[in-house]
Amino acid sequence: MPKPSASKATGKTRRFISGVVEAGVMFGCTDLVQVLLHVVCHCKNDQLSVLSPWPHLQSSCLLAACLRHVHAGFYGRPWTMEQRTELFQREKKWGLNTYLYAPKDDYKHRMYWRDLYSPEEAEKLVALITAAKKNGVDFIYAISPGLDITFSNPKEVATLKRKLDQVSGFGCSSFSLLFDDIETEMCPADKQAFSSFAHAQVAVTNEVFTHLGQPDTFLFCPTDYCAAFCTPNVSQSAYLHTVGENLLPGIDVLWTGPKVVSHHITVESIVEVSSVLKRAPVIWDNIHANDYDPQRIFMGPYKDRPTDLIPKLRGVLTNPNCEYHPNFVAIHTLATWFKLNLNYVIAPAGGDDDDEAGSDPCYSPKRALTLALTDWLQEFLSTDQPGGTEGKDDQPRGQLQQSIQLYLSPRGQTHENHTNTTHPRLHEDRPRPLNPTHLKKESSDEEPMQTDVGDPVYVPGSGDNPLFTAEPLTLDDLQLLSELFYLPYEHGSTARTMLTELDWLKAHREAVGDAETEMWRSRAKCFDVMCVAVFTMFNRLSNAPNRSILYDLYNYICDIKSGVTLARAYVKQLGGQSRPSAQLMTDDPEPWGFRGGLSGEFQRMLPFHGNRDLFRHPPMTSVYSIRPFCPQDKRMLPGDFPSLVTMQLHPRVTDPTPARRMIGSLLSLMKTSGSRGVFCELRQGDMRMFDFYSKLGSFTTLKMAGLPQDVVAMGTSL
């Protein structure tokens, strides 16, 4: 169990930092340009050397056992004042204690860090800091001067101090200096004053920290903030060693783990970096950050971080999705991860949790997800319209509380901050709805819709269409939603099953014989049932009373519905249940029938596009024999089929699927190169290759003059 630690510098007791970062991870157009530059600059002699093009994440949300908080600093539409206030309420009720303020919409946080806040801006910050204090949340103001600061210029340092003094006057007592995602080359003046970039950063950080009176919470984000950026590695990094040896002991260091977005964070890796930094780090966790890809959002549980980490850390901050409402699961499960290690153990998983057997004994991601979704369902079912929130907190909750008791069991005496809790309920206090008066200004601008109250209710006749009735959203729907939008390195179980089934149905579409055909149709039916479940979930979400949550999710659920619709139509076509779909087969599809946009086309042109898909074909060994074109291969080629393809399968190859994919790519390339059609020549007795080309579905037998009697030609138009 983590205990409050004493600062070596002041002797004061320091609590574990845990909460949310409102910041971000900028993986947008800049990164795509960098990818293109890397491909162009490192493509020499036909040998492609792809370097890692991804820059550091611009922000994150870290949650820790000592410093448990939320970080705000992503790129995108900023959270509103009402949302941030609601977040503080949730943090308090879920046992989190910190909020790191670094939103990219505040241009005076980074680009114009020297400028003081205007009276209007100051008023908003004061209100935000006051709301955080009211809920017992430590508001950390972060500033990023690293883009253009001259570290050796006393006027620059004085300007930085003046800016933080202004924020201190707003009532803020916790601060953070961020030097992430900046150029590491020092200007000439700094090169004369400092022996290294790390020395320059540390010198300014120590001076500012001392100027502010050595606050209890002061965070430093290094330029090398993950193991992937350390040269040559963590233990031998001159940069990190300089930071560890020279940074004042009262300053905490932010760390994202092995990578910017880390799949796993192990105890061993934290022990290693702690020994170099000479202090336990605060984890800035980007596992739920999504601003690097507008097509992805993550609603899976906090996982792959063992609770054994907590005693080794100074804190954990989570940097969640850009959209506010979908972060309910990310923050809720993080709070569960932390609180269960302190006070409770999730009841042993049954057979439905076999995939977690042997993992963390204190925390089950699957159970934590169920707890979060159960609470989130109540939010979905509560209207967010003016006047519609009365009684939300007065709804009977006995059944909900009883279900939670099935998940939790006491593990010992509660932490000193929770001693008044007799019956643990991780979600016992749900954030109150916003005051309807907050919306009066907006709603007063429009006239209310006029209705004829006295008109009788329409009742359809026996031959009329029945009235549409919206089905209520269920916990199963939210479970499916989470599994479709799970985590960066992992799909949920339903998503994995759908991909596996679709891949199998494609690979076995030529099934012959009664037994094989029956199995194919059975699995196709199961796939169809899963598709229908997605459509049902979409319809129920679309009719949920809380429209604010829906608006944050709508683009994502529309996108997945479109993809599933196309996949379902394709499977029905393969099974002969429908005619070939115009969406799938036409060379002039509707815009909504394919992935478009300039960014998508750039990516499809790159040689490594798709090699990071979470669903991959099983590895296999293939042997290919390629020889030059010989004079004896030359013939009079038919006008409609100007390209000759020669291919042979090795007799030991049992699965022709890789060969089909390869020739499909080859034909696409030849079409791009201007070829109108291709043909191949086969021996009449080579039934193996004749069968191979026939099952491709596009090759047909050709009549060509001049061929030997034992040679057959097959071709296809491109």
* Residue 247 to residue 201: CA distance in whole angstroms: 9
For position 612, what pLDDT does the model report? 61
Token pair belonging to 213 = 């009176």
H-state helical runs in 473-596: 475-484, 493-507, 514-542, 547-574, 582-585
Distance in angstroms between the alpha carbons of the first and the last residue of the chain: 66
| Other Cβ atoms closer than 10 A to 316 | 33
Helices 81-94, 119-134: crossing angle, 10 deg rounding: 20
Degrees, nearest 5: CA angle 569-591-75:
110
By three-state DSSP, how is residue 704 classified?
A: coil
- Active-site pick, 106, 180, 181, 360: 181
* CA dihedral of 488, 489, 494, 497, whole degrees rounded to 10: 140
* Residue 31 to residue 73: CA distance in whole angstroms: 18
Cα dist from 168 to 125, 172, 173, 175, whole Å: 11, 5, 6, 9
Q: Are 163 and 143 in contact, with CB atoms under 8 Å apart?
A: yes
Q: Residue 29 belongs to what H/E stretch?
A: helix 29-41
Reduced 3-state DSSP string for 472-500:
CCCHHHHHHHHHHCCECCECCHHHHHHHH
Is the CA virtual torsion 619, 622, 627, 633 positive or negative?
negative
* Residue 60 to residue 22: CA distance in whole angstroms: 7
For position 409, what pLDDT does the model report? 36
For position 642, what pLDDT does the model report? 78
For position 82, what pLDDT does the model report? 93
31 is catalytic: no
Tens of pLDDT, residue by residue over 112-164, are 999 999 999 999 999 999 999 999 999 999 999 999 999 999 999 999 999 99
Query: Which one-letter amino acid corresponds to residue 682?
Result: L
* Residue 157 to residue 208: CA distance in whole angstroms: 8
For position 242, what pLDDT does the model report? 98
Q: Are 250 and 209 in contact, with CB atoms under 8 Å apart?
A: yes
* Residue 442 to residue 446: CA distance in whole angstroms: 8
Residue 315 has phi, psi (to 5 degrees) of 175, 170
Residue entry with tokens 């060693």:
241
* Residue 599 to residue 680: CA distance in whole angstroms: 37
Token pair belonging to 92 = 């308090």
With 0-12 / 13-18 / 19 or more C-beta atoms within 10 angstroms meaning exposed / middle / buried, residue 137 is: buried
For position 644, what pLDDT does the model report? 82
Tens of pLDDT, residue by residue over 46-68, are 332 223 333 333 333 333 334 54
* Residue 661 to residue 656: CA distance in whole angstroms: 9
Q: Residue ranges of the chain with pLDDT lower than 50?
A: 1-2, 7-10, 27-66, 68-69, 72-73, 344-354, 357-358, 386-446, 619-621
